[in-house]
Every structure is written in C-alpha cells, then in structure tokens.
Amino acid sequence: MTVRVVVADDQEIVRTGLTMILNSQPDIQVVGEAANGHRAVELARHLRPDVCLFDIRMPGLDGIEATRALAGPEVPDPIAVVVITTFDLDEYVYAALRAGARGFLLKDAGTAMLAQAVHAAAVGDALIAPSVTARLLRTFAAGGPAGTAQPADPLTDREEQVLAAVASGRTNGEIAAELFITLSTVKTHITSLMTKIPARNRVEIAMWAYETNRVRR
C-alpha cells in the first residue's frame, strides 16, 4: 500500500529535496506540495493524504497552527502530521506535539529516518526518536513544575515498563523484543495506557511520562 504525503516548507530547495527523497521510496508518494501553512491545510483537506510533513516555521499560518487545524483535539477526523525542524527550535516542536503532531524530525535526518517517520505516522505508530524527542520532552518537563496528574486507573507493572520504553523512543518491535512479549501484547498495553492516562497517541504518552516525572534523567 502506497502512503500518500503532502509536504509543506517555505524553502523551495528543502521542499523539493524532501519530495525527491520521499518519492524515491517504493511505497511513498508525494501528492501535494505547499509553501505556506494556509495552502498546506487547504491541500490536506482536499487530498486527504495519509500523512502531512510540515515545517514548523512557515509564513501566514505556521506549522503549529496548521497541525492544530488538521490534527488538533477538536478535529473529528484528524490527519497524521509529522513536523520537521532544526534543533534550535525546541519550544516550537513541543508546541507542535501539543497541537496534535504524531512526531517530528530534524532537517538533517537521513532518508531512512524520514521514511520511517512517514510510515509510522501512517499507521498511528508515531515516531519518538530517542536522540531527539525524548531529550526535548525531558527538557520541557524539567523546566516546569512537577506533574501531578494520575491515571484514571493504576498502571500495572508491565504498563509502567511499556510506558518507560515508549518515552525512551522504543518502537513497538523493540519493546516486544526487550520485554519478551508479542507485538500484539505491546499494542494492547499501549491502547490501555492511552485509555488510562488518557492520551491520543504515543507522543502524548511520552509527554505524560516526563511531565509526571515517571521517567527521570
């Protein structure tokens, strides 16, 4: 199955490069390109791609607001969004995750990571890169007061283990191998975590883990 993608970046050379990389993958097709957030939202609503890849900083409507418009809490039929940025825009990345993004990449991410992020978003398995996302989440969690939110029901020991693994950037396959459980069992635990916390996706699971100091430095 081909994953259909809309790419939005105000820099033509970056936009063209991302499109070329994605189109070089046998199962990914860029179906639309936009140079600003307004056009990106318009295209996404018209084309209904599987995934949107948005730059954070764009004229008119930035990537954060574009993400919120397509994937925010109030959107009845959200579209998967992955944001892409540079390392010095941490605060914007965090805001984008809050707006509903399923993950994010740095602009110097390699071809394999870019393809992985798109595929992950397409199936609802948001990419949490250990070297990037977890570090940023820790930074922002450490910058504010300790979280006090508790789950609706206590987490089991296994759910605590899965929670820590998700927050550390493990994929479902890596969690299964690490904990010696099946992939379907991992998915069951993640579904349970989303219900108990509650969270809409694994990005929010990771943020909750850091904000409530369940995962420490």
Angle in degrees, CA 201, 116, 136, rounded to 5: 55
Q: Which residue has the tokens 């299964």?
A: 176
Peptide bond into 151 cis (omega under 30): no
pLDDT along the chain (217 residues), means of 10: 96 95 97 97 98 93 95 92 77 79 83 90 74 61 57 91 87 91 94 89 81 71
Written as six digits, the tokens of 64 are 């954060």
CB 96 within 8 A of CB 84: no
The Cα–Cα gap between 93 and 216 comes to: 21
Q: Which pLDDT value is given to residue 129?
A: 59
- Tell me: domain 145-212, CATH 1.10.10.10, correct? yes
CATH topology of domain 3-138: Rossmann fold (3.40.50)
Give the predicted TM-score (pTM) of the model. 0.76
Q: Which pLDDT value is given to residue 141?
A: 58
Q: Which pLDDT value is given to residue 134?
A: 60
Extended beta strands in 36-142, E state: 51-55, 80-85, 103-106
- Give pairs for 185-189: CB < 8 Å, separation 24+: 186/162, 189/158, 189/159, 189/162
What does 157-198 look like in DSSP terms, one character per residue?
HHHHHHHHHHHTT--HHHHHHHHT--HHHHHHHHHHHHHHTT
The Cα–Cα gap between 18 and 131 comes to: 21
Give the number of other Cβ atoms within 10 Å of residue 109's Cβ.
Answer: 18
Phi, psi of 213 (to 5 degrees): 60, 30
Q: Where are the domains of the chain?
A: 3-138, 145-212
Q: Which pLDDT value is given to residue 103?
A: 80
CB 81 within 8 A of CB 52: yes
Pseudo-torsion of CA 119, 83, 74, 199, nearest 10°? 70
Which strand (E) or helix (H) includes residue 31? strand 28-34
User: End-to-end alpha-carbon separation of the chain, Å?
Assistant: 40
Q: Which pLDDT value is given to residue 13?
A: 95
Which strand (E) or helix (H) includes residue 115? helix 111-122
Q: Which pLDDT value is given to residue 1?
A: 86
